[in-house]
Amino acid sequence: MKKRITRVILLLLATALAAWALPALVKKATRSPERYPFIYYSSLLKELCVIDYSDDDTPLSDLSGKKYTTAQFDSLLPLLNFRQLMADGRLPDSIDGHAVTPPVLRAASFVFRHYPATVRGPRPALHVLFESMPRRVGLEMPGDVFRLDDKIEFIDCETNRVNGEKSARFQQTLEKRGYRFPARWNAGNPNPRKAYDEGYFSLDADGRLFHLKMVNGKPYARDTRASETVDVAAFSVLEVANKRFYGFLFGKQGEVYILEERDGGYPLARLDIEPFDLYRDQLTIMGNLLYWNVAVTNPSGRAYYALRSEDLAQVAEHRVAHRPDTWERAAGWFFPVYLTLDDPDSAYIYPRLHVTGAWFHAPLLLLAPLLAGRRGRRVLYAIYILITGFAGLLALLALPDTFTKKSRKR
């Protein structure tokens, strides 16, 4: 190992570390989270309204800026505030011509969230299949877990052994229903804290989406036939109280559907929103009896949609553009390139190179001749600092033998 080679290795390592750690520290010191307003569709005003809970007197304003008092806020957004209206004894009998009762409102309300990290990360390999028709109220952990890849197998928790008999039953059912192994992925909700269980949705080797659940201890499997209309990219199960649908289905073209439950069939209904990028966009849906409030957030900003619950047609839309914070501006100044190892939109750890393309750190180059003793190195150091900015400068400083030995020459 020649000394010069090891020195270059050290320089590269120190630069990489500085290009990771320095920006991370600056980020930590300067980053403030993007604060988008909370926007909800008013079924009375028939428009999107901005809610600011920190404003005690006038929490509500419409998009034109008109302010409303708390009492007005409650009654203008009855679908959001029905619990408050109920407590005040002000809940109307009908909203927009629809008869409402608290149970009806409650059953239709749901919140759904999608984060890119759930699809950009390791997928769970073991799943929990609950009994869909439990004899008693509430769900109980079943005492086994299952894997579904090139076959389906149930593994008993107590013995840590495959339950051959149960596995064979499910295997046969899946095969009989035309499921072709191996599975591409399985989507379900293993958390027992939910109203009921609709089992799993599994994409088979042919790209067909199957519904798998356990009813009275027996396997139940069906081809949803969703793949006949959509190229399925992902599915997210949501057990909504009113059992209207099974969950959200994402198509490879950026479409978002719900997979509805109707007479044993699985009709799709498309959300009337702009194409959605599963791997980059965050999605929040707050549904109520009449309207769904959809927010799609990505690096360029947030888009708000109000959809009619009945047919998911868009009734209102609003956009808020992303505003760069101190960190993003600082990065452009000091870090022409930098590294991150993690990413809020991914569960994976690996180095990601960011090129900000801003080279305002050019004054640093003046330091290169001070650093480099030998004339031949000055150009080299200047180029290195030009490419790497502060990170490279720091790495050069951290290295022995960078400085001149001028003072020692006599």
Partner 1 sequence: MENIIQCEHVTHYYGDRLIYEDLNFEVQRGKILGLLGKNGTGKTTIINILNGYLKPRAGVCRLFGEEMSRLSPATKARVGLLLEGHVQHTYFNAEQIERFYSRFFPHWRRDAYHALLEKLHVAPTQKISTMSCGQRSQVALGLLFAQDPELLVLDDFSMGLDPGYRRLFVEYLKEYAAAGQKTVFLTSHIIQDMEMLIDDCIILDYGRILLHEPTRHILDHFRRYRFPSPAIGEVEGMWHAGPAGDHWEAYSFLPEEEVARRLAHAAGELTSERLSLEDAFIGLTGKY
Partner 2 sequence: MIQAILYKEWIKTRRAVLLAAALLAGYVAYAAIHTGQLFRVDGAVATWANMILKDAFPLPAALRWLPLLTGVLAGIAQFVPEMTNKRLKLTLHLPMPERRVLSVMLLYGAGTLVALYAATILAAWGILARYYPAEFLAGFLWRALPWFVAGVVGYLFAAWTCVEPAWTRRASNALVATGALAACYLDAPAGGYLPMLPYLALLTGAGFCLPFYSAARFKEGAQ
Partner touching 25 among partner 1, partner 2, none, CB below 5 to 8 Å by kind: none
Partner touching 407 among partner 1, partner 2, none, CB below 5 to 8 Å by kind: partner 1
Residues of this chain, 2-41, that bind partner 2 according to CB under 8 A: 3, 5-7, 9-10, 12-14, 17-18, 20-21
Partner touching 406 among partner 2, partner 1, none, CB below 5 to 8 Å by kind: none
> First-to-last CA distance in the chain?
32
Binding site for partner 1 (CB under 8 A): 407-408, 410
Site track 183-222 with partner 2 (rule: CB under 8 A), x = hit: -------xxx------------------------------
Partner touching 124 among partner 1, partner 2, none, CB below 5 to 8 Å by kind: partner 2
Residues 6+ apart with CB under 8 A from 80: 40, 288
Q: What is the DSSP letter of 43?
A: T
Site track 112-131 with partner 2 (rule: CB under 8 A), x = hit: ---------xx-xxxxx---
Q: How far apart, in whole angstroms, are the C-alpha atoms of residue 82 and residue 171?
A: 47
Among 141, 370, 379, 387, binds partner 2 (CB under 8 A): 141
Among 87, 157, 215, 383, binds partner 2 (CB under 8 A): 157
Site track 84-103 with partner 2 (rule: CB under 8 A), x = hit: --------------------
CB 117, CB 127: distance < 8 Å: no
Site membership for partner 2, residue 158 (CB under 8 A):
yes
Q: Which of 285, 382, 363 is nearest to 41 (CA)?
A: 285
Q: How far apart, in whole angstroms, are the C-alpha atoms of residue 95 and residue 102?
A: 12
What's the CA angle centered on 257, arms 293 and 178, to 5 degrees?
155
CB 290, CB 44: distance < 8 Å: no
The DSSP secondary structure of 128-149, one letter per residue, reads ---BSS-SSSS----SEEEEES
**Tokens 């604060």, located at residue:** 35
Residues of this chain, 328-357, that bind partner 2 according to CB under 8 A: 341-342, 347-351
The DSSP secondary structure of 242-308, one letter per residue, reads T--EEEEEEETTS-EEEEE-BTTB--EEE--SS---TTT-EEEEEE-SSEEEEEEEETTEEEEEEEE
Q: Please, which residue, 214 or 259, has the CB nearer to partner 2?
A: 214
Q: Which residues are near partner 2 by CB under 8 A?
A: 1, 3, 5-7, 9-10, 12-14, 17-18, 20-21, 121-122, 124-128, 141, 143, 145, 147, 155, 157-158, 160, 190-192, 341-342, 347-351, 398, 400
